[in-house]
Chain A
Amino acid sequence: MYELTNLTKTYETKRGTVSALNNVSLSIPTGQMVAIQGPTGGGKSTLLQMLGALERPTSGTVALSENLLSGMPDARLADIRARTIGFVFQGFNLIPTLTAQENVETALAPLGLSRTERRRRATEALDTVGLSERLAHHPAELSGGQQQRVAIARALVKEPSVLLADEPTGNLDEQTRDEIMDLLEGLWRDQGLTLIIVTHDSAVAKRAERRLHLKHGAVSEKKEHGTARRNTAQR
């Protein structure tokens, strides 16, 4: 579970100090599906980076289970990201020179697995997202939806406990958006993940169990519940 306490993040710019997050305190239980909404510049991506151990707070703390992320050295944070946290980006962020299978394998490289094991697990992950026929394709040879599926396979291949998605459907049409969200929701439901999605899209946000709104660096809870439901037995 995530525990954020009095989290503040400020950036120094030429025009002065900008406050991206302002004294945010928040708990996200393990296995919850959370959507974070808000206007551009409201601090959504900064919050996601704090949750993903990519950024350090100016003040306050971020804890993931027993790990106090805000106080860890860079190498330990990299290890946490390698084993515990999966990322899905709006722009897919696949490496253009690698095939779909090799892109998925990059997430396993820090784990020190054998080449055979990496191959096996990458193939399995791509099969899970419905791309078993596209293993040797390069990103440029895939559609947007297929590229995002590869990115999801890359995020999940290491079997993380947390999946962070930053506008995962922002570059996709409605039909593909729904397919990707069905996939993410299905994986969340089946694998017991904590899924946190930053989105502008209300249709995406409505699927989440819990919806947070972030504006001017301050977080507020939306009361209505999303459509996503996990089998109680699995939780």
Chain B
Amino acid sequence: MFGTYLYRELSNRRKQTTIIAAGMALAIALVMIVSGVAAGVRDAQASVLASIYGVGTDITVTQEPVQPAEGEQGQQQPRFQFGANDGATADGTTELSQSRLTSGAGSTTFDADALTTAVGLDNVAAATATLTLNNVSFTGEIPTRDAASAQGTEAGVEPGSGQAAPGGPDGAGGSSFSVETFTVTGIDVVGESIGPLTSVELVDGRAFETSDADSTVVILDAGYAATSSLSVGDTLEVGGEEFEIIGTVTSTSSEATTASNTYIPLNTAQRVSGLDGQISTVYVQAGSSTEIASVQASLQNALPDASVKTQEDLASSVSGSLSTASDLVGKLGTWLSVVVLAAAFLISVLLTTSGVARRTREFGTLKAIGWSNGAVVRQVAGESLVQGAIGGVGGVVVGLLGTLAINLAAPVLSASATATAVSGPGAGGGPGGGRFGDATTAVAATTDIALQIPVTLGIIGIAVALAVLGGLIAGAFGGWRAAKLRPAEALRSVN
């Protein structure tokens, strides 16, 4: 009887069934899509973080830059100094070229003992250190000293009147400079299972070997190699030294780039940059995910001046439209879901209870002919539950269609992770030489990521559970109201 009655009620009261199911479906679909987008954004953030910090890194240790005290000199920027006879001279023009390898602005190095400290802590499965640097290359053409002097001492004499040519790249005594920069990461070649190179794959050449520890060899990001027309076997000047290119790598994620333009052995990086015994980041892997918090606390305790961050903390460092999407999903999306879900539940409850009120005669009659309170409540609750389930199935279908539509559209989100680079030259000079300070600034390395929403059984399960919960809540209210009906009163109201 229960099934027949339920079927007849739902099929004959289509309007109410449709309204409740549609409301529930809308809410469930929204919850599914918002949950899916949130998961997609989390995946994208993880992908960006993996490209920077590598796979398997649970915690990173860095040193926050410290504001120099008044009168104290801040971080030294690379300066290019040329002697009077430096450079190659031809046709009244002197070509100058210098390369500096330094830690970038906003990046602080600290003692490599921190790695030893980290490795010695309990529950630390693996740890490795890197030194993040910027290579700034200055190339310029200036008039030769002789040409400039001649022009200066015979001021007022028109060029081309039998005097020496003024020189310079434009032939009129002018100069031209260019500054190029790329990021360099010093890697421990011994081969820890974590670190930046765990999220890359070899495109060409070979990876580092233990014997490369003190060598001047370099591995390039494949994208950087392509744009710089470099390939395996070529050489690249890093910090004034020629490095042999032994390999090119690309990110294992199609959605992200590698963390650095170039990778060199850590020892070599420390030597060439003059930062012996210095590192900029320690990558730590905890024994298990449950031990991350305790390892973080131990690290913070052992290295009080260091900044110890988990992947969760680092996710907040990802900015750009991906971050905006994350905030949007986290705040607006969640609240919108809660509001729509609450509205759907409320509509369901109101329609169910008003349906019970409308069916007072019906339930009064059923009680009069011997139906127990429990049987009437079961009937009302059963109807609500099925309406919720219909809404849930509809919501899952709409949610999957919405997810498919978003995945097909694949909206591109940009993700920026903090890095350092050089934005332009500064200039200075003096007689007999010149000094050029770079204008290194912290900028964001931007990665475009096509948002893909994962469809998991978990999300579908949550959606269906919410629909069933909505049906149960509405059924509980409706059933409670039906149970309260006294048969005599119910019959008196219609007779």
Which residues does A use to contact B, with CB under 8 Å? Answer: 45, 49, 52, 54-55, 74-75, 78-79, 81-83, 86-87, 89-91, 93, 95-98, 102, 105-111, 115, 118, 154-155, 158, 166-167
Contact B371 A110 (CB under 8 A): yes
The one of A49, A105, A166 that contacts B1, using a Cβ cutoff of 8 Å? A105
Distance to closest chain A CB from B360 (angstroms) = 11
Which residues does B use to contact A, with CB under 8 Å? Answer: 1-2, 4-5, 8-9, 11-13, 361-362, 364-373, 375, 486-488, 491-492, 494-495
CA distance A115 to B99 in the complex (A): 92
Contact B494 A91 (CB under 8 A): yes
With A54-B487, A106-B5, A110-B375 as given contacts, are A95 and B495 in contact (CB-CB < 8 Å)? no
Contact B370 A97 (CB under 8 A): no
The one of A45, A83, A106, A167 that contacts B366, using a Cβ cutoff of 8 Å? A106
Chain B positions within 8 Å of A118 at CB level:
1
CA distance A96 to B361 in the complex (A): 11
Distance to closest chain A CB from B467 (angstroms) = 24
Contact A82 B370 (CB under 8 A): yes
Chain B positions within 8 Å of A83 at CB level:
370
Report, nearest first, the 6 A-B pairs whose CB atoms are least far apart.
A82-B370, A97-B12, A109-B1, A93-B365, A54-B488, A55-B488
Contact B488 A49 (CB under 8 A): yes
- The secondary-structure label for the interface of chain B is helix
The one of B370, B373, B495 that contacts A107, using a Cβ cutoff of 8 Å? B370
Highest count of chain B CB atoms <10 Å: which of A55, A97, A115, A154: A97
CA distance A102 to B8 in the complex (A): 10
Distance to closest chain B CB from A100 (angstroms) = 13
With A102-B4, A102-B5, A105-B1 as given contacts, are A81 and B370 in contact (CB-CB < 8 Å)? yes
Contact B13 A78 (CB under 8 A): no
Highest count of chain A CB atoms <10 Å: which of B5, B367, B373, B491: B491
Distance to closest chain A CB from B465 (angstroms) = 29
Chain B positions within 8 Å of A45 at CB level:
492, 495
Distance to closest chain A CB from B378 (angstroms) = 11
With A81-B368, A109-B1 as given contacts, are A97 and B13 in contact (CB-CB < 8 Å)? yes
The one of A55, A108, A110, A167 that contacts B372, using a Cβ cutoff of 8 Å? A110
Chain B positions within 8 Å of A82 at CB level:
369-371
Distance to closest chain B CB from A8 (angstroms) = 16
Chain A positions within 8 Å of B365 at CB level:
87, 89, 93, 95
CA distance A115 to B1 in the complex (A): 8
Q: Can you show 14 pairs from A to B with CB atoms below 8 A apart?
A: A54-B367, A55-B486, A81-B368, A86-B369, A89-B365, A91-B495, A95-B366, A97-B11, A102-B8, A106-B1, A106-B5, A106-B366, A107-B370, A111-B370
Highest count of chain A CB atoms <10 Å: which of B368, B370, B373, B492: B370
Chain A positions within 8 Å of B362 at CB level:
93, 95
Closest B residue to A52 by CB, please name it: B368
Chain A positions within 8 Å of B370 at CB level:
78-79, 81-83, 107, 110-111, 158
Distance to closest chain B CB from A71 (angstroms) = 17
Contact B372 A89 (CB under 8 A): no
The one of B4, B12, B373 that contacts A78, using a Cβ cutoff of 8 Å? B373
Closest B residue to A102 by CB, please name it: B4
Chain B positions within 8 Å of A154 at CB level:
369
Chain A positions within 8 Å of B491 at CB level:
49, 54, 89, 93
Chain A positions within 8 Å of B372 at CB level:
75, 78-79, 110
Contact B1 A91 (CB under 8 A): no
Contact A90 B8 (CB under 8 A): no
CA distance A74 to B374 in the complex (A): 11
CA distance A3 to B9 in the complex (A): 40
Closest A residue to B3 by CB, please name it: A115
The one of B11, B361, B368, B492 that contacts A87, using a Cβ cutoff of 8 Å? B368
Distance to closest chain B CB from A129 (angstroms) = 16
With A54-B491, A91-B495, A98-B5 as given contacts, are A109 and B13 in contact (CB-CB < 8 Å)? no
CA distance A95 to B363 in the complex (A): 9
CA distance A2 to B494 in the complex (A): 27
Chain A positions within 8 Å of B486 at CB level:
54-55
Distance to closest chain B CB from A54 (angstroms) = 4
CA distance A213 to B367 in the complex (A): 28
The one of A55, A74, A115 that contacts B373, using a Cβ cutoff of 8 Å? A74
Contact A98 B375 (CB under 8 A): no
CA distance A55 to B367 in the complex (A): 12
CA distance A78 to B377 in the complex (A): 14
CA distance A37 to B263 in the complex (A): 105
With A54-B488, A98-B5 as given contacts, are A91 and B369 in contact (CB-CB < 8 Å)? no
Distance to closest chain B CB from A158 (angstroms) = 8
Contact B492 A97 (CB under 8 A): no
Closest B residue to A105 by CB, please name it: B1
CA distance A166 to B361 in the complex (A): 15
Distance to closest chain A CB from B387 (angstroms) = 15
CA distance A107 to B366 in the complex (A): 8
Chain A positions within 8 Å of B12 at CB level:
96-97
Chain B positions within 8 Å of A79 at CB level:
370, 372
Chain B positions within 8 Å of A89 at CB level:
365, 491, 495
Closest A residue to B13 by CB, please name it: A97
Chain A positions within 8 Å of B369 at CB level:
81-82, 86-87, 106-107, 110, 154-155
CA distance A80 to B366 in the complex (A): 13
Distance to closest chain A CB from B8 (angstroms) = 4
